[in-house]
Chain A
Amino acid sequence: MRERLASVAKLFIGIWLGGVVVAMFLLVPQYEGLGNAGRIIIMHVPTAWVCVLAFTISAIYSALYLWKNKPEFDNRALAAAENGFLFTILATVTGMIFSQVVWGIFWNWDPRQTSIFVLLLIYAALFALRSAIEDLERRRRLSAVYSLFAFVTVPFLIFIAPRMAESTLHPNCAFIEGSECEGIELAVGKIGLLGDRKVQLLGLSQDGDVVTAEVKVSEPGLTSEAILHPTWSASEGHQIVSPEFPNLRYRLTIMSADMASQSAKLNIMAPGTGILDNRITLYTFLAGIFGFTALFIWMFRVRSKLLDIQEDLQQREGAFA
């Protein structure tokens, strides 16, 4: 009975994720400014979420191993870490595809890309550590301790560091409620950073209700410069024209302006902001999170089972040697 239920659950995961793939391409509408590239969030965010879940489970089993000293806990910690590593690679690759479309480059050493790369290195070092120690007991104990230390970096590298950095292009505001892209307040002549672009407010003029800013934007490395003219409605308090940054699908927008002090609040509008306002996109996104979590649980159980078998066989070989 239990085996039959397990088989039904696995079939359900197969059909569910197949449905998510179909919905991702056929039901989710194109998002303005992103086109078909916006669909990738249905894959990208759930894989990133699963890597956090997997590393958390790995840390829990590592702690349990240190406490109870049972080999099966070490096997589960390893299985979760391996799966977490795999899902982190998937999140990185899907993010790179998105960045190629939106930022015009696969790898930009953006804070978000750098932090996930560091995370990959930290967990790759765990596997290197495991393969470098011959003594089984010592390998388990050391990797459990290392896994706990590695986990301490996960919340910092995934949630804190990319949000602390002011010069990220990653559209945090798109997905996380309460997370605001606040923009920067600049007086005429002053320089600031929006994303990874240098901006300088050259001038501010008002014609009736319309406030126009003259902004010089420079690409990273100051390879090229352009002058943009975003406009803002003083009476209604919203942007009228938000021009695109050169070679980027991000727009420069005025959030507020004060003619008396000759200053304006400028912001970068990421495509994808508000992408989940669409109900179909939101439900597909949630279905993706559920499906990928279930897939991870399945993969984790299979890998744990295989590691247990491997351990059993090694013990038998030792006993008969």
Chain B
Amino acid sequence: MNIILEDAVAVYVAMAVALSVWIVIFIYLWRIDAHAKEMRRQLDSKSRTEQNPVPTATLRAQKARESSE
């Protein structure tokens, strides 16, 4: 019989499998969480720089003034 399936060993094999699955899930969750946090930070900083943008009309007027000078 396969040694892995023997009663005394099987319980340790099952534990190792369950523990490995949990470790993989944990790392996956941790990484997703970190990525989500990073994305949130980037979005927040982007929205701060986008606040109070110069209106297009002002930009056009500035450009016209510069070219006339």
Contacts and interface: CB of A to CB of B under 8 A. Distances in A.
A150 interface: no
Contacts of B18: 21, 24-25
Contacts of B36: 302, 305-306, 309
B40 A309 contact: yes
Contact of B22 (A10, A17, A25, A26): A17
B29 A25 contact: no
A154 B26 CA distance: 29
A6 to B, nearest CB: 9
Nearest to B11: A25
A52 to B, nearest CB: 21
Nearest to B7: A36
A225 interface: no
Given A18-B19, A18-B23, A309-B40, A25 B33 contact: no
B40 A25 contact: no
Contact of B39 (A10, A13, A36, A309): A309
Interface in A259-308: 298-299, 302, 305-306, 308
A36 B13 CA distance: 13
A302 B33 contact: yes
Given A25-B11, A26-B15, A305 B22 contact: no
A10 B29 CA distance: 10
Given A25-B12, A26-B15, A298 B29 contact: yes
A309 B37 CA distance: 10
Interface secondary structure of A, over-half rule: helix
A81 B12 CA distance: 35
Nearest to A313: B43
A22 B22 CA distance: 11
B22 A299 contact: no
Given A17-B22, A21-B18, A21-B22, A299 B39 contact: no
A312 interface: yes
Contacts of B15: 21-22, 24-26
B11 A10 contact: no
Contacts of A26: 11, 15
Interface in B21-69: 22-23, 26, 29-30, 32-33, 36-37, 39-40, 43
A220 interface: no
Nearest to B10: A36
B30 to A, nearest CB: 7
A14 interface: yes
Contact of A14 (B26, B32, B43): B26
B43 A312 contact: yes
A49 B39 CA distance: 32
29 contacts: A10-B33, A13-B26, A14-B26, A14-B30, A17-B26, A18-B19, A18-B23, A21-B18, A21-B19, A21-B22, A22-B15, A25-B12, A25-B18, A26-B15, A36-B10, A36-B11, A36-B14, A298-B33, A302-B33, A302-B36, A305-B36, A305-B37, A305-B40, A306-B32, A309-B39, A309-B40, A309-B43, A312-B43, A313-B43
Interface of A: 10, 13-14, 17-18, 21-22, 24-26, 36, 298-299, 302, 305-306, 308-309, 312-313
Given A17-B22, A21-B18, A299-B29, 9 more contacts: A10-B33, A14-B30, A17-B26, A25-B18, A302-B33, A302-B36, A305-B36, A306-B32, A309-B43
Interface of B: 10-12, 14-15, 18-19, 22-23, 26, 29-30, 32-33, 36-37, 39-40, 43
